[in-house]
A and B are shown apart, each in its own frame.
Chain A
Amino acid sequence: MVRAVPGWLHIVGIIFVALTALILLAPLIVVIGVSVSESQFIAFPPNGLSLRWYQEVLSSNAYLNAAWISIQIALLVTLMATAIGGAAAIAIHRRQLPFSDTLATVFLSPLVLPTIIYAIGMLMFWSSVFGPVTPLTLALSHTAIALPYVVRTTLAVLAESDPYLEEAARTMGANRLQRLWFVVVPQCFPGLAAGAFFAFNISFDEAVLSLFLRGPTLTTLPVQIYSQLEFSPDPSVAAVSTIMIALTIVLIFVIDRMLGLTRFASA
């Protein structure tokens, strides 16, 4: 085995990684720092230490309403995207439809098209065909962009599954529904679960569609934060943001348990 890396480069590498990590994490650290500040102005490093801004957030109707709307929409999206995306992935995986490849492309296309382009279309199409935008409109549009993630994670799991299990179930007399429910779906489970958590995360954090489709009674948490930033940023924004970061950390932990983070990252 040859010497892997020259010594000086090793040091450069360490410094490089440290700096990059700092850049990636700096905004998050700052947000957390500001949220525990005592001062009424946004300041980092924080002056003093207090949880008053968390109290403020938890007693603010605007934030609580927005959070509640975000959670409801995200749950609905998780459910729809997982069910619809999982089913589609199974169909694509079996490759029995004449247009399987096209189908795969179709289901991944929301990943490629910039959200803003589609957000305008959604606003214009729905308001001209179905009338005013409702929470369901927003949930459907979030589902469309969450679908590719569910399809991908499920396909990845299916690719490693045993194709003969279903065949075995068939010879043992299981009908279509039974085979699907007791053989195929359990095989998909890790992929479906990971996809579900992604779907939740995407919907809960999504800002572009939510901004275009927002209304006085349809304000999600990211939209609420955005308008606070535009109008009157105070440390309460940091407190809400910190709560969102904490939720993300929990989700990452869960996804790591479900699918293995390193595996997902290099998929």
Chain B
Amino acid sequence: MKAILGTTALSLSVLLGTTAFAQDTTFTINSFGGAYETAHRACIITPFEEETGVSVNVVTAYSADAFAQLRAQKDAPQFDVIHFSGGQEIVGAAEGLLAPIDAASLANAADLYDFAKANLARGEGPAYSIAAIGMIYNTDAVSPAPTQWTDLLNPEYSEHLVLTDISNGYGMLGFLMLNQSQGGDLNNIQPGLDAVAKLLEAGALIVSTSPEIQQEFAQNDAWIAPYASDYAFTLRKAGLPSGFAQGAEGTPASFITTNVVAGRPNTDLALKFVDMSISPEAQECFAEALRYSPTNSKAELSAEVAADVAYGEEGVAGLIRFDPAVIEANRAAWVEEWNKTIAR
């Protein structure tokens, strides 16, 4: 009988516990895993937790996945702040999933470059760092350094080329640039798909997350991969001979934005989080750790760091930005086409 009473008491406490953890008291954001998430914690999340005493629940989800979740949770959103690298904030804002931000409520907004805060009032959160997409390469194996995107098709590299799935935001931009270098554009991705098919035929590999790229370079003799500049630095830190080259056809940029989700109770905290993300300190920390370009004009980088990133308003403004609204409108169709192309 005692045992039964014990079980009942336990079960009741569990039931109560269940309802307690259903009404979420936590502050939930997404991050991108791997080295990015580590830096994200060190530069923004931990300082935020220390300052506000709130514990942050970090969900690892790339932009497209996070956006799909945000859409599915339309009636009961569960993220407080959501980060995108593929322009999903434009669609999210248009669909009313993201809350408009009053620039006056962010202490650091005044110091942002104009393009980084263009549509705050519409709900498109500020860009807090920028990644440039080019070619990461093994400096020992690839010589001379690649100079244009068409170099990816060099048959000498084909068994050592690593492509990234377009479910990954950087993978998408790298693919669109490859497509453009083959004569395609946002209305026609067939030239890009044809090139990818040819590359796969010749022995290229497809991965879908950043850490896999590192693994391929470290253990499996990968030489070259279209990806974000920060990753060349990550590889170098891991002791691999790697460099970053921009293609002559242009360098696409990925604006990483931090957005306030609409319909959540913690708007003030969310704004605080966004404000901390765009502070000069956070951006310097990010640039130091991962070599992302700051968007805050007050962020000062050491010469060593500055050499590795597009730095300053002009340097950053020169990057290409594929129209995120078009990407988002076509994403489902492109992903299906892509899957069909890469399927064995």
Contact = CB atoms under 8 A, between A and B. Distances in A.
Q: Are A and B in direct contact (Cβ within 8 Å)? A: yes
Interface of A: 41, 61-62, 65, 69, 72-73, 75-76, 79, 127, 131-132, 134-136, 139, 215-217, 219, 227-228, 230-233
Contacts of B11: 75-76, 79
B181 interface: no
Contacts of A131: 75-76
A215 B22 contact: no
A63 to B, nearest CB: 12
9 contacts: A62-B58, A134-B18, A139-B18, A216-B28, A216-B57, A217-B78, A219-B59, A228-B60, A232-B33
Contacts of B30: 216
A203 B209 CA distance: 29
Contact of A65 (B57, B72, B76): B57
B167 to A, nearest CB: 11
A41 B218 CA distance: 10
A216 B15 contact: no
Interface in B18-63: 18, 21-22, 24, 26, 28, 30, 33-34, 37, 55, 57-60
A69 B21 contact: yes
Contacts of A76: 11, 14-15, 18
Contacts of B248: none
B79 interface: yes
Given A69-B21, A231-B209, A61 B55 contact: yes
Contacts of A216: 28, 30, 57, 59, 69, 78-79
B18 A72 contact: yes
B21 A135 contact: yes
A73 B21 CA distance: 11
A41 B14 CA distance: 38
Contacts of B72: 127
B147 interface: no
User: Main secondary structure on chain A at its contact with chain B?
Assistant: helix
Contact of B22 (A62, A135, A231, A232): A135
B18 A136 contact: yes
B17 interface: yes
Interface of B: 7, 10-11, 14-15, 17-18, 21-22, 24, 26, 28, 30, 33-34, 37, 55, 57-60, 69, 72-73, 75-76, 78-79, 208-211, 218
Nearest to B31: A231
Given A72-B17, A75-B14, A227-B60, A132 B76 contact: yes
Nearest to A136: B18
B161 to A, nearest CB: 22
Nearest to B79: A216
Contacts of B211: 231-233
Q: Which 3 A-B pairs have the closest CB atoms?
A: A231-B33, A132-B76, A232-B34
Contacts of A127: 72
Contacts of A79: 7, 11, 14
Contacts of A62: 58
Nearest to A134: B22
B129 to A, nearest CB: 19
Given A72-B18, A75-B10, A216-B78, A230 B209 contact: yes
B34 A217 contact: no
A217 B75 contact: no
A127 to B, nearest CB: 8
A228 B55 CA distance: 21
Nearest to A139: B18
A231 B73 CA distance: 23
A134 B28 CA distance: 16
B323 to A, nearest CB: 28
Given A79-B7, A230-B209, A231-B34, A217 B14 contact: no
A233 B214 CA distance: 12
B315 to A, nearest CB: 30
B18 A217 contact: no
Nearest to B30: A216
Contacts of B208: 230
A230 B65 CA distance: 13
A217 B57 contact: yes
Contacts of B17: 72
Contact of A135 (B18, B58, B59): B18
Nearest to B218: A41
A79 to B, nearest CB: 5
A76 B55 CA distance: 26
Contacts of A72: 14, 17-18, 21
Nearest to B10: A75
A181 B283 CA distance: 66
Nearest to A135: B18
Contacts of A136: 18, 22
B58 A217 contact: no
A76 B7 CA distance: 11
Nearest to A68: B21
Given A62-B58, A76-B11, A217-B78, A232 B24 contact: no
A206 B10 CA distance: 22
Contacts of A75: 10-11, 14
B12 to A, nearest CB: 10
Most chain B C-beta atoms within 10 Å of own C-beta, residue among A62, A72, A231: A231
Given A217-B24, A217-B28, A132 B14 contact: no
Contacts of B210: 232
A171 B209 CA distance: 71
